[in-house]
Amino acid sequence: MDILSLQTILFFLLFSICFYIFFLKPKSNKNANYSFGINPLLGSLPNFLCHRHHFLDWSTEILSTSPTNTAVFYRPGKLHGVITANPQIVEHMLKSNFDNYPKGTRQITLLEDFLGKGIFNADGELWKIQRKTASYEFNTKSLRNFVMKNISTELQTRLIPVLEKVSVETNRILDFQDIMERFAFDNICKVAFNVDPCCLGGDESVGWEFMQAFEDASSLSLGRFMYAIRGLYKIKKFFNMGSEKKLQKSISIVHEFANKIIKTRMEERNENKDEDLLSRFIGTKNNENIEFLRDVVISFILAGHDTTSSALSWFFWLLSSRKDVEERILQELENIRARNGKSIGEVYSFDELREMHYLHAAISESMRLYPPVPVDTKACKEDDILPDGTFIGKNWFISYHAYAMGRMENIWGKDCCEYKPERWIDENGICKQESPFKYPIFHGGLRMCLGKDMAYIQMKSIAASVLERFAVDVMIEKGKSPEHLFSLTLRMKGGLPVRVRDRII
């Protein structure tokens, strides 16, 4: 080796060490040994890229070996992150030190083109104002009645007829995830602005383009978080190129669709007695701005459209290998029908849904293992020390890993990986509540999900009506778990192929 190459190698080594010391190596960090990988130049990125296709399981493995179920994610530069599956830390970030862990400028900027300043993409005063109005409305009996009415119509006129039709075609295979997504999209659009896009079993021309554009806008906005070079999306946006071109087109379709509805609604407001969220927001003073109302509505659709469908897809997949659980649910439904003089096919009332403790437990248990929002991320406003002693710096990201938390022995016991609805049932047969910091499926603290009750109404109504009427046979090899799709919600790659048989015939 000549002297010049030796010098080059030595220089490169020295440079890497200095770079590591000055830019990557964290300050006193109790959990510095527990990380997602420390490459001297690129931090945890190479490991992340290697394991991206099975990120949730890979990161769960790392978190379970850390003594406090927390590990550091190093990024080139100083803006690292912390990922945790520790309930104390989750409580610290979502409740005790809430003000220090907002959504943050980066997240808000990347999603702003699509979500604007809607509740889902706002911090501080802007968030507080929307939260106050929305919390009040989500707790009214009139909204609950409106939700019940929509679900029952959609079940009777759409979902059940679609499944009935498929059940007579013996060899027909259906993507159950797709059906659930269409149902949820129609449903949330009704609740948000009283428009039925008819994506399931109706005249698709009404809202199919809107749904497609909405899906594209969400996934392409999320794609902006994945760029290895930060800010590259801005250049693509400036030159209207590639994914940014498609994103801007999808956003304009969504915005136009929503603007038209909002304008009409504002014009006819006096005689309008609708119960949807848009009317309720128009009804509060100072909400005359179309753009603001559009942002509000889009945030609600985003929050409510993919989550319940994800939960139900995993629930039906789990049930397919647990006939004992299915039997118990059917028994519970039979008892409720017998008590209330109901026959199969009649939609359940709100009070009857509340009597379904075992079904509630079975769905909650399914979301424990397959959380619709598997990882949720915030930004750190000022340097802080987390309850386990881990240092977190200003502008670092912090994520709680709900998927890993469902698989932690120290939270759920030795049988943590087993699907066991019974763990939710107390000695009186009632479904127990869990601490939202141990079970952060619906978030926790001040930003707790507003649609939790609405989601359970929807999920229990669908599960009960489908299960008592149809046997859903999943067409995936026994013992094989569907692959995850990398998106904001936990979706199945390739969908959930099923065959449906009528139980009544």
User: What is the contact surface with ligand HEM in residues (CB under 6 A)?
Assistant: 119-120, 131, 300, 303-304, 307-308, 311, 372-373, 376, 441-443, 447, 449-451, 454-455
- Residue nearest ligand HEM, CB atom distance: 451
Of 26 and 87, which has the nearer Cβ to ligand HEM?
87
- Minimum distance from residue 454 beta carbon to ligand HEM (Å): 5
How many residues comprise the chain?
505
Residues linked to residue 43 through DSSP beta bridges, in sequence order: 39
- Minimum distance from residue 133 beta carbon to ligand HEM (Å): 11
- Minimum distance from residue 261 beta carbon to ligand HEM (Å): 17
Query: Contact at 8 Å (CB) between 392 and 398?
Result: yes
- Minimum distance from residue 392 beta carbon to ligand HEM (Å): 18
- Minimum distance from residue 459 beta carbon to ligand HEM (Å): 7
How far apart CA 271 and CA 322 sit, in angstroms, is: 51
Cβ-based neighbour number of residue 15 at 10 Å: 12
- Minimum distance from residue 407 beta carbon to ligand HEM (Å): 17
Of 39 and 133, which has the nearer Cβ to ligand HEM?
133
Of 75 and 443, which has the nearer Cβ to ligand HEM?
443
Query: Contact at 8 Å (CB) between 215 and 305?
Result: no
Token pair 């397919």 is found at: 320
- Of the CA atoms within 13 Å of residue 434, those in its CB half-sphere come to 21
Which has the closest alpha carbon to 204: 255, 259, 265, 158?
A: 158
How far apart CA 200 and CA 159 sit, in angstroms, is: 7
- Minimum distance from residue 310 beta carbon to ligand HEM (Å): 7
Residue 449 assigned as binding residue: yes
Of 68 and 307, which has the nearer Cβ to ligand HEM?
307
How far apart CA 256 and CA 210 sit, in angstroms, is: 10
Of 166 and 457, which has the nearer Cβ to ligand HEM?
457
Query: Contact at 8 Å (CB) between 221 and 113?
Result: yes
Query: Contact at 8 Å (CB) between 87 and 411?
Result: yes
Which has the closest alpha carbon to 473: 321, 328, 307?
A: 321
Residues linked to residue 84 through DSSP beta bridges, in sequence order: 70, 400
How far apart CA 401 and CA 408 sit, in angstroms, is: 11
Which has the closest alpha carbon to 209: 220, 198, 219?
A: 198
Of 75 and 447, which has the nearer Cβ to ligand HEM?
447
Of 74 and 439, which has the nearer Cβ to ligand HEM?
439
Name the binding residues for heme.
449
